[in-house]
């Protein structure tokens, strides 16, 4: 049995899609959903999905081994970031080399880095007059959005696109490809 921990800071729609994708797979389970945000929508989703969840604060994440120890106790094989807003600390990075992945709602290396999240990304893509955008699934390192890319999928930016409808089409791509990419990464562990 391969075990996944999902980290999310917000709504958690990707986290839910991932949980659904693996729900009837006997070899893979989403064992825990972790968040830094007590008000994150992902917490309600976790309880509805019957997945154990945990809220942590900045101090325990960056200045203790508490979170690492929980991941170890649960025998987590892969860490999946899905809208998680904080950098992953050194202790977790070194314990999970090539076992932490993220999804970014643009074609990295463009439109990545600190401050490039959610609507900021789509606003920047539209303002720059890009004709295409997409998703990037990548390994996580100590910098925002800079780890090695695993998979990218493109879509067209339409003439009348607003950040909202671009975001919605990007989400559809994410739902389709993130779970499959996770499955692929798990087979290579």
Residues 4-43 contacting ligand GRF, CB under 6 A: 8, 10-14
Question: Is residue 134 close enough to count as binding ligand GRF by CB under 6 A?
Answer: no
CA-based nearest residue to 137, from 166, 167, 100, 94: 100
In contact, 137 and 101? CB cutoff 8 Å: yes
| Interacting residue with ligand GRF among 32, 43, 103, 157 (CB under 6 A) | 103
CA-based nearest residue to 125, from 108, 142, 102: 108
For residue 106, the minimal CB distance to ligand GRF (Å) is 8
For residue 26, the minimal CB distance to ligand GRF (Å) is 25
* Residue 122 is a catalytic residue: no
| Interacting residue with ligand GRF among 45, 104, 122, 138 (CB under 6 A) | 104
- Paired with 12 in beta bridges are none
Tally Cβ neighbours within 10 Å of residue 84. 25
Question: Is residue 179 close enough to count as binding ligand GRF by CB under 6 A?
Answer: no
Kindly list the distances between the CA atom of residue 4 and the CA atoms of 72, 75, 109, 121, in Å, as whole numbers in the listed order. 12, 9, 26, 27
**In the complex, which residues of this chain contact ligand GRF (CB under 6 A)?**
8, 10-14, 82-83, 103-105, 171, 174
Q: Which residues are catalytic?
A: 104
């Amino acid at each position: 049995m391969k075990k996944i921990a999902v980290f999310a800071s917000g709504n958690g729609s990707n986290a839910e899609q991932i949980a659904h994708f693996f729900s009837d797979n006997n070899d893979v389970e989403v064992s825990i959903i972790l968040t830094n945000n007590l008000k994150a929508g992902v917490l309600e989703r976790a309880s509805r999905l019957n997945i154990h969840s945990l809220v942590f604060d900045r101090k325990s994440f960056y200045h203790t081994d508490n979170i690492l120890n929980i991941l170890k106790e649960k025998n987590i094989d892969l860490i999946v970031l899905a809208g998680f807003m904080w950098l992953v600390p050194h202790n977790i990075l070194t314990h999970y080399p090539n076992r932490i992945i993220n999804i970014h709602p643009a074609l990295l290396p463009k439109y990545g880095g600190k401050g490039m999240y959610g609507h900021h990304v789509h606003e920047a893509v539209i303002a720059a007059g890009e004709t295409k955008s997409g998703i990037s699934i990548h390994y996580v390192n100590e910098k925002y959005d800079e780890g090695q890319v695993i998979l990218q999928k493109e879509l067209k930016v339409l003439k009348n696109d607003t950040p909202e409808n671009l975001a919605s089409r990007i989400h559809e791509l994410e739902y389709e490809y993130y779970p499959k990419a996770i499955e692929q990464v798990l087979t290579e562990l």
